[in-house]
Amino acid sequence: MTESQTQTLLRQFETLLLIRACEEQLVELNRQGAPDTCSSIGQEACAVGVIDALEARDRILTNHRSAAHLIARGAEPERIFAEVLGRIDGYCGGRSGTLHIAARELGIVLTSTIVGGELSLAPGVALAQKMGHGDPGAITAVFFGDGAACEGIFHEALNLAALWQLPLLFVCENNQWQAYVHRLETMADAAITAWAEGHGIATQSVDGNDIEAVHSAAKSAVAAIRADGRPQFLELRTYRLRGHSGQDDQAYVNADELRYWRSRDPLLLLRQRLSEAGGLDAHTFAALQHDAHTRIEQAVAFAQASPWPDAASLTEQVYA
Amino acid sequence: MTRMTTEQALTQALHEEMRRDERVLLMGEGAATKRPALAREFGPARVRNTPLAEAIIAGTAVGAAASGLRPVIDLLFAPCLTYAMDALVNSAGKLRYLSGGLCEFPLVTLAMTGSGWCVGGQHNHNLEAMFVHAPGLHVLMPSTAADSKGLLKAAIRDENPVLFFIDLGLLHQEGEVSDDPGDIVPIGKAAVPRHGRDVTLVSYAKTVPVCLQAAAELEQRGVSAEVIDLRSLKPLDTTCVLDSIARTGRLIIVHEASGLCGIAAELAALAVTRAFDALRAPVVRVTGPDAPAASSWALEQAAVPQAQQVVDAVLGLGLTGGHGGAAGEPAWRARA
């Protein structure tokens, strides 16, 4: 591993740590009475690996499990916590809460919590880019899960993107769980990429917990879209290490399966990789983890001090 | 002014607005096939045939609207809107608000509905009130060729998502239409095609001509009826309706859609909460039934309010003509 590769992985590791600290704090705040959140603990490498392959000109759509995407794109944890707590300093002034956070200044343009909703909107964002609205050469990336792949809109979106040759990167974070149901109860095993290929879209399926594999696949997919303007499809095989939301105790999860995926925690894998390459000793690790937790503590303090929205603003911004 | 059908007026509006603003594009099942002149003038990038897939047509329009384009989508028949509900109701209607005003969705959805073609309940369903109930959307349903053109132009220029309902029964009706590309009909403003003193008939779409016919018959009996054509169901021109009630003291609302939780119910509530003192008689609704539209001509027409029903409703208020207020023993009082 070159020094530059080590530095890239170290920077990505810091982002993973920040996301993990943020997600764990969101769970803790929920335990204390804050709203439920849908955590992406276990899926962080997907967000960071893909978003690091995008450029500032590109546009992103995400879903209810969005904290990792937001932080990977440079969102301030202060404003994420403020949003989740419904405060004025949140990205959406507290109107969104945790479920539909958009941050247009970061290029995270639309977020839908209706599973598959993000897939319905993404072709239009890419169509506007194709028709010259947006930065030249820009593409759109849409994050969704295996649950959304079971919605009819998944097929409608893939067909239209292929038919109209839209610059759209489909990113399926296959976390094996569709709310409270394992995906093998709802779909044939290798369905997702086969479905995409059936629409004539080039696919890659990689280990979503291996950030180097994710990043490499995303870079080649993004380069292909910029080169020929056609959509690409990434399946990132990962695992939702926590329950669907809030304090869900995962009593329905097979213990052996959970143990297996915990041993493949993306943070653990990257830490091992960096340690083996001599890029991360125990002291540095402890320092990075401390930094992440400190940052999150500050963010929570900021959010808790942020004012509530004025009730008089209740019906503002419904209409343009 | 040029005489033309509602269908021609709508196509002319699309032509003028697509010429005026290159961000406007038209998408739908047969959008290019059915409007070849538009396809020729603006090309395949801006006039797009789509798969028969309303959910992705609408979703794509919403995503494009948030990204600098101004799409018009033609979903053909109003019942097809249920496939498009997520994009229109959950995304276009809510994501501006939920994002704290970060985005706008300037898009127009066209859909035909109403009796006249004997197509049955899966092609004919006046479900406009469903969209009135969804925050963030505007809902229009004009009755004349001129208003169809002017309102569609206004809708395309509006920054909000607009549901534009086209009454099937009026599609081939002719009317005088402005030739000036600058003329629009403002959203949220009702028209008063007939002024009167004794009773206010409020309606929209195909039951506006029904009310006008009823008003003509009532005039023969010495009753002066005012007819209001709402045109815009949301925003609703409550000022126009309240002003009229203040003068006539009587309100009858007529529409083809079911009366249950519909526009008529809303206007009845408006009258009793905001104009109670002016009312000289109970508010009456003359509406379609809580039943799917049947295909049989006899049954289809039986579901649509007819002029005689409106006349009977007015006379049932005790109006016997030749006065601006005093009435004989009203039927509603006798029943009570």
Cα distance from B190 to chain A (closest Cα, Å)? Answer: 20
Contacts of B45 in chain A (CB under 8 A): 131
Per the domain annotation, does A314 fall within a domain?
no
Domain tally, chain A = 1
Per the domain annotation, does A316 fall within a domain?
no
Q: Annotated catalytic, B123? A: yes
Per CATH, the number for B2-177 is: 3.40.50.970
CB nearest B101 (choices: A90, A112, A317): A317
List A residues 52-71 in contact with B (Cβ-Cβ < 8 A).
59, 61
CB-based contact, A122 to chain B, within 8 Å: yes
Per the domain annotation, does A318 fall within a domain?
no
Per the domain annotation, does A242 fall within a domain?
yes
| Topology adopted by domain B191-325 | Rossmann fold (3.40.50)
Per the domain annotation, does A317 fall within a domain?
no
State the span(s) of chain B assigned CATH 3.40.50.920: 191-325
Q: Look at B68 and A104 and tell me if their CB atoms are within 8 Å.
A: no
Contacts of A59 in chain B (CB under 8 A): 67
Per the domain annotation, does A218 fall within a domain?
yes
State the span(s) of chain B assigned CATH 3.40.50.970: 2-177
CB-based contact, B13 to chain A, within 8 Å: no
Per the domain annotation, does A320 fall within a domain?
no
Domain assignment of residue A221, given as a range: 3-307
A296: domain CATH number is: 3.40.50.970
SS3 letters for chain A?
Answer: CCHHHHHHHHHHHHHHHHHHHHHHHHHHHHHCCCCCCCCCCCCHHHHHHHHCCCCCCCEEEECCCCHHHHHHCCCCHHHHHHHHCCCCCCCCCCCCCCCCCCEHHHCEEEECCCCCHHHHHHHHHHHHHHCCCCCCCCCEEEEEEHHHHCCHHHHHHHHHHHHCCCCEEEEEEECCEECCEEHHHCCCCCHHHHHHHHCCCEEEEEECCCHHHHHHHHHHHHHHHHHHCCCEEEEEECCCCCCCCCCCCCCCCCHHHHHHHHCCCHHHHHHHHHHHCCCCCHHHHHHHHHHHHHHHHHHHHHHHHCCCCCHHHCCCCCCC
Tens-level pLDDT at each residue, chain B (336 residues): 999 999 999 999 999 999 999 999 999 999 999 999 999 999 999 999 999 999 999 999 999 999 999 999 999 999 999 999 999 999 999 999 999 999 999 999 999 999 999 999 999 999 999 999 999 999 999 999 999 999 999 999 999 999 999 999 999 999 999 999 999 999 999 999 999 999 999 999 999 999 999 999 999 999 999 999 999 999 999 999 999 999 999 999 999 999 999 999 999 999 999 999 999 999 999 999 999 999 999 999 999 999 999 999 999 998 876 554 444 555 555 544
Name the closest residue on chain B to residue A319, using Cα atoms.
B136
Q: Look at A125 and B67 and tell me if their CB atoms are within 8 Å.
A: yes
At B198 the three-state DSSP class reads: coil
